[in-house]
Each structure stands twice: as structure tokens, then as C-alpha cells.
Amino acid sequence: MTEKDFIPNSYTTLNDEGEVSYTSPSNIALVKYWGKKENQVPANPSISFTLTACATTTKVKYKKRENRNEEFSFDLLFEGESKEEFKPKINTFLKRVEVYLPFLKDYHFVINTTNSFPHSSGIASSASGMSALALCFMEMEKSFSGTMSPEHFNRKVSFLSRLGSGSACRSIEGTIVQWGETPSIEGSSNLYGIKYPYEVHGVFHNFHDTILLVDKGEKQVSSTVGHELMHGHPFAQQRFDQAHSNLSKLKTIIKEGNLVRFIEIVESEALTLHAMMMTSHPYFILMKPNTLSIINEIWKFRKESRTHVCFTLDAGANVHVLYPEGEKDIIFPFIIEKLVPYCQNGQYICDRIGLGAKKL
């Protein structure tokens, strides 16, 4: 498939007005996307668990404009209040997707969006936010088109979400989604995420992700800048090669449910992501002292308890604690007792692997 396959032929009807709503979750990468080329093409493949609790709900009300205009027309409400500062990001997204959704300038939109997690939690909302908005626009396109296969719908939503934020393309379906062309995964694409197409061992069903909110402040360096710094990075090529190799190894691990090897890859990926930050020019550190304390506590406890708890990190100081359902009765009390004291204001979110976005 190419980008052109996402340009619609023509619509049967363009409704005068209507309303669509979706809830879309966040996701947590096991193999990390870090570095990109033009047009949101990833420099390396990635794979993630779709989450459940961390989600964005977006309602889009649309109404035909009297005259089609060269500017997009929309109001943006975040948690019920007008948010002018979020508008440029949405405007950039609309510009990028306009050719694939040619009706956008025919309407005025009222976009009403809320997050399930606290605004100031430091949890990135771009994956859930961009995918929820893309889903609403695709639902409109579906109603204008007469028929549309679920496969095309999901692919195009993922494609559009990617243009908003790379990781957002992995939030549409569950429970495991892969994005970025790689030889070990058939059907993999740089243009959209695909539902992981191979066998998944039962140990990954209901997998837990307890998100420890270590630092809720504004990040010193955004993901956008971080991706940019992979251009000319001294270790970029080795890192990109490593991501392909880790994905290929994960295929066997996911099938066999080998948690020991799963942990080795997932933790190494998290630390490599941060190692890339520490070795770019300019260099930067997003982990905080408490991030490291939590990692050390996890390693100590894992050894003592012989359980399979592990961590991963996104582009920030927060720690995602991953563990299987069968070990939660031992691991969760440990998290509460030993790890939560390192969280800012004791805040954490209990999340788990999920099935993807839902129409409301």
C-alpha cells in the first residue's frame, strides 16, 4: 500500500451536520520508536501493548459551513474549557491529513476532548488524543462513503493518527500492535500500525502496567526534539539495527511466553532509549533520581521473589511497571509498599493491556 491508497475517490453524501465520539487508549512501547524521517516515517520498527485505563474521549460535532474556506474552522474544548494553546497542534494535524480527508474544510467542528488521567500527571496524551480525533474524522468519512471494510477503516485511522503523532498509530487496536517495516513481521508497514499477526502466549493476557508518576512537571526536552536529535547521532544506525533484531527475538518470546527473555529485551529497550538521549548532541537526561531508585528496587525484588516484574520507560521520568496477571498478588503489594513512596504525591495509575479504541 502507498499513501495514495488513502485518498478517497468520492463520497455518496456529505451530511449537513452530526456528532461522533470515540474513546482511544494510550499504549506503551516494548521496542521503542525513537528517530524518524520525513512525513512521520519511523527510523525503526516498534511494538507496543495497547492500554486501557489511560485514554482520551473525543466528541466531534460537525456542521456544514455556508462557504468552503481556505482556513480550517474549529473550536477546541479540553475538559469542557476552551483551549486556544492546543489549537496550533490540531491545525498542523488537519493540514497534514487534509488530502486524505478532503471534506475537512467543508465543516465547522466543535472538538470536545477529555482525558481519563489527570492533566498534570506527566502522562503523554498525544497517542490517545491524536488517535481519538482521527477515529472521529474516519467515522465521518465512513458515513459519507456508503460502505467501508473494517480493515480499511482501521488502517486508515492508524495512518492518519501517525501523521498526528507517530506512537498514536499503535492505539487503535489491541492487544499488541506493531508499526514500521521489518523483515520478521509480515504485513508490517511504515505507514500504519498492524495488530500483531502471530500467536500470543496466554501469560500476556491481562498483563498489568502500573504507571508510577515520578515527575509530573513539563518535560525539559520534548519527544519531537528527541526524535530530531537522532539525525547525525553517533549510535543511530546501531540503534535502528538493534530495534529490528529485538523485534525479531520478541516474536519467539511472545509465542512461547518466555518472561525471562521478555524482561531482558523490554528493560534493555527502555535503557537504550534513555542512553540515546544521554549520548545525543546536545545531551539530556529525562530520568530523575527516583526513576533510578525504582529500577533498583524492582531488580532487587525480582531476584528475591523470583517473580517476573519488570519496568519500561517512555520519554520521561515515569516508570511503567509490567507484570503478569498470575503474579499480581505478590507484585502489587510490593509496588504499594516499596515503589509508590518514590512517586510525586504518591500518585500512580493501574493500567493493563487492552483491546483498543471504542466508538461511543
Give the C-alpha separation, 195 to 188, whole Å: 9
Query: Among residues 98, 86, 95, which one has the least CA distance to residue 126?
Result: 86
For residue 36, the Cα-to-chain-centroid distance in whole angstroms is 15
Closer residue to ligand DP6 in complex, CB, 273/353: 273
H-helix or E-strand spanning residue 52 = strand 46-64
Closest distance to ligand DP6 from the beta carbon of 243 (Å): 10
CB-count exposure of residue 89 (10 Å: 0-12, 13-18, 19+): middle
Provide CB contacts within 8 A for 41, sequence distance 6+.
190
Tell me whether residue 138 or residue 169 sits nearer to ligand DP6 (CB atom).
169
Q: In the complex, what is the shortest distance from the CB of residue 224 to ligand DP6, in angstroms, rounded to a whole number?
A: 5
Q: Which CB, 316 or 324, lies closer to ligand DP6? A: 316
With a CB cutoff of 8 Å and minimum separation 6, the contacts of 3 are 100, 191
Least distance in angstroms from the C-beta of 313 to ligand DP6: 8
- Spatial separation of the C-alpha atoms in residues 77 and 56, rounded to whole Å: 13
Q: Which residues 6+ apart lie within 8 Å of 81 measured at CB?
A: none
* Binding footprint of ligand DP6 on the chain (CB under 6 A): 29, 32-34, 40, 46, 124, 126, 165-167, 223-224, 227, 273, 314-315
Q: How far is the CB of 295 from ligand DP6 (least distance, A)?
A: 17
CB closer to ligand DP6 out of 273 and 295: 273
Closest residue to ligand DP6, based on beta-carbon distance:
166
